Structures are given as C-alpha cells and as structure tokens.
Structure 1
Amino acid sequence: MRKSKRLNRKVGTRPVRRKIYVFAEGQNTEPQYIRAYQRFACSSIVEVICDTQNGVPKTLLSLAEEKKSKISRRRYQRENGSRDEVWIVFDRDEHDEVDETLARAEALGIQTGYSNPCFEVWLILHFADYDRDEHRHLTQKKCENICAGYTRASRKVPDFKELLVHVQEAEQRAETLTNRRDADGGQAPLTTVHNLTKAMRIK
C-alpha cells in the first residue's frame, strides 16, 4: 500500500496593522472628524484608536506618555512592529503650559495635531484660505458660515461627506499657513492637523 505523502503547508501570516493612537481633547468635533476620515481614506493596514478625554493638554500628554512607553517595549514591538505612533490633538483655547506641552511631546517622540486658536481653523481650510488672528469664537463663527452642518445645534460636527473630499486641499493650505508663521514669527492662526491626516494615509 502506497504511503501518502505529508503535505507541508506554510501557515499564512497576516500583516501587522500599523496603529495610530490619538488622544483628543474634544468630545465631538475632533474625535468624530478623525474617525470619519479613517473610514473615508484609510487602508485596513492602519488602525486609529481615538481616546477622548476631558482635560487640559498637559493631561493628554500624560496619557500619551504612558502609551508611548508601552509601545516602546520590546515585547510590544515584537508582537506589533515598531511603526506605531502616538498623537495628541488639542487647541490653544485658554490653556496654560501649551508651549511646554508641545516641547515635551517633541522630546518624547509624541506627535501633535495642534490648532491655534481652535480646531475650526483646520475645518475652514478645507474650503478656503484663512489667515486671521482672532478670538476662537470668531473663528468658530467663520466655520459656521463656511462648513456645512457645523453649528452649535449639531454640537459642532460638520457634514463629513461635504468636508472630507477636500482634505488634501486643506493640507496644502495648512502647510502654507505654517510657512507664513515660520516667516513672520506669529502664533495664530495655525494648525498642524494636516500632519495627522497624512500619517493616516501611510500604509
């Protein structure tokens, strides 16, 4: 009787998903935007874990430090790879210690999506240039006028279907704005959220 040959089959391995851990200050606008953009543009290779917290930027940084420490461990990287990132997303608003928070985040390798005076600067840039250094309430009013769906009644959540098709235009405008602030030494308006949306598209 002929013996059957044993088939040696390689066990298939699924690619490790790159993860982006985001600690966002807001409860509505920021986290809903991030989750909506993930659904709109991100590959299945990228997983965005958006953790909303009530607290000042310093509190978000503390949470991000804990996560950064965890993903830097040898065991974590052996199981998940070494490409995962940690971000904090917050506004200038009336917060204290913003400059210190930004400096410490950079030193720790924690990425920041920072907007001055508020996240609405980033939303406006999806539709138009914006370079007015004014109080955040005026910036939010401008956002109401230009962003479909964004109102106080909607808890400041825009119509993402209208918004997200313009993300790469917003990125270009945000980069231009950053270059202007570098040139004139100004603090506002400014947003670096475009660095996060770009990171979310990297496989």
Structure 2
Amino acid sequence: MSHRRPLARRKGLRRYRKLFVVSTEGSKTEPQYFDLLNSKSAAVHIHCLGRRRGQSPERVLAAMDKYMKEVRPKRKKRRDDRDDFEAWLVIDRDQWEMDEIDQLHSWARSHPNTHLAVSYPCFEYWLLLHFEDGDRVTGPQECIDRLKKHLPGYDKGVNSSDTSTDMIRAAVERAKRRHQSQGYPAIPNAFGSTVYKLVENILNSANEKD
C-alpha cells in the first residue's frame, strides 16, 4: 500500500479541521491502517511518527515526546499545525511488561490532548474486529490466522479495499462492547483494543460540520 496518497495533501494542510499525531509500535500495519483512514476524509489529517521497525514502548514514547517538544512548536510557529489536535501512543500488550506500558499511560495522563491506545494481544485483534466479534481467540498467531480467513492476501498489511466505513464503525462498536464488559480498564487485561477510542474520535471529527 502506497503512503503517498495522504502525504500529497500536505500542500493544503489548512483544509483539515483536526490533526491526529500517532506514534505506533508497528512500522507497517498500523501506519498503513491510519493512512487508509486518511484517504477516507480530507476533514482530518493523521500523521504517523517514526515508522521504524520493531518499536518498543520506550521508543514509541520517545518519538512522540520529540515531536511535542521539538517539531510541534516549530510547525505551530509556521502555522502548519492546527491548535485542534490529539496525540496518541498506539502499542500492543502481548510482549511488554506492565511497567513499560504504565510509563506510557502516566505520560499520556500528564499531558493535555495525549492518549494511549492498547491492543491485547496485538493490533491484528483490532483489525479482526472489523469482520467478527473476536471471540475465543487464544493468542497473537490465532488472531492473525483468523484475520487471514477474512483477508486471504493479508501479510501484516492492509489497503483501502479491505475495509469500508461501515466495517470500521462496526469494529468500534465491537471493541467498545468488549471494553465495557471488562469494566473499562485503561490498559486491557483481556482480549480487546482501545484503538476504538482513537478511531471513533477520527470519525467524529471527520463528520463535524463547520
């Protein structure tokens, strides 16, 4: 999937109403997914940071911290960034210690307009929710295997033909119900994903009337 389409709108940055800055653990699937959302609406702009391979939670946070301290002030001075923005850290739960994730949670709580989205066990679970309820998944590999039943060509990547807006909204509702059933933990401790919060904000911002 090409990353050029959403970037092509950079000359018209003032056209969008809200900016979402996203720092992701994955270097391929997550940026592709958010590029897909970029392509669905010109009313919002989603900027993914540091598309490096194998990001740890520490590096995910470092990329966002650098943007907030160094890049955003310069862009605001040039009026390239909107005041209306959200910053999101997006990570998986499966292979990291809670201490590492808690560090990101604490950072997000201590800064305005910053948030943490966690998928348990992995981002592919969030993708799976676009197609089904995600019941009885036992681990990351089964999650990927089940996703491939819906997307036979999936190889840790997505493209614009894989999902529709209705499917994205269905994923939000499925994830929300699952999160509610778990008691709304800040960090999922069972199969689920709080990426729905980020995506719901993107969809709502895209549909806001001027």
TM-score (norm 1): 0.77
For the residue of structure 1 that corresponds to 2:58, the secondary structure is helix
Matches within 5 A, 1:77-156: 79=79, 80-96=81-97, 97-109=100-112, 110-132=114-136, 134-150=138-154, 155-156=155-156
Code of the residue aligned with 2:101 in structure 1: it is V
Distance 1:186 1:132, change over 3 A: farther
1:19-39 residue CA offsets vs partner (Å, 9 max, x unmatched)? 211111112211111101210
For the residue of structure 2 that corresponds to 1:163, the secondary structure is coil
1:123–1:147 contact (8 Å) kept in structure 2: no
Deviation at 1:120, TM superposition (A): 1.0
For the residue of structure 2 that corresponds to 1:19, the secondary structure is strand
Distance across 2 between alignment mates of 1:143 and 1:183: 25
1:18–1:47 contact (8 Å) kept in structure 2: yes
Query: Aligned pair 1:46/2:48, yes or no?
Result: no
For residue 187 of structure 1, what is the aligned residue in structure 2? 189
2:120–2:188 contact (8 Å) kept in structure 1: no
Deviation at 1:149, TM superposition (A): 2.5
Query: Aligned pair 1:62/2:62, yes or no?
Result: yes
Distance across 1 between alignment mates of 2:77 and 2:201: 19
For the residue of structure 2 that corresponds to 1:182, the secondary structure is coil
Code of the residue aligned with 2:44 in structure 1: it is V
For residue 36 of structure 1, what is the aligned residue in structure 2? 36
Deviation at 1:126, TM superposition (A): 0.7
Deviation at 1:45, TM superposition (A): 3.4
Q: Which moved more, 1:82-91 or 1:29-38?
A: 82-91
Deviation at 1:95, TM superposition (A): 1.6
Distance across 2 between alignment mates of 1:68 and 1:46: 19
TM-score (norm 2): 0.75
Distance across 1 between alignment mates of 2:159 and 2:36: 10
Matches within 5 A, 1:161-200: 161-165=161-165, 166-182=167-183, 187-200=189-202
Distance across 2 between alignment mates of 1:198 and 1:16: 17
Deviation at 1:186, TM superposition (A): 6.7
2:16–2:44 contact (8 Å) kept in structure 1: no
Distance across 2 between alignment mates of 1:182 and 1:133: 19
In structure 2, list runs of 5 or more residues that go unmatched. 1-13
Distance across 1 between alignment mates of 2:201 and 2:17: 14
Which one has the largest radius of gyration? 1
Distance 1:157 1:190, change over 3 A: same
Distance 1:71 1:175, change over 3 A: farther
In structure 1, list runs of 5 or more residues that go unmatched. 1-13
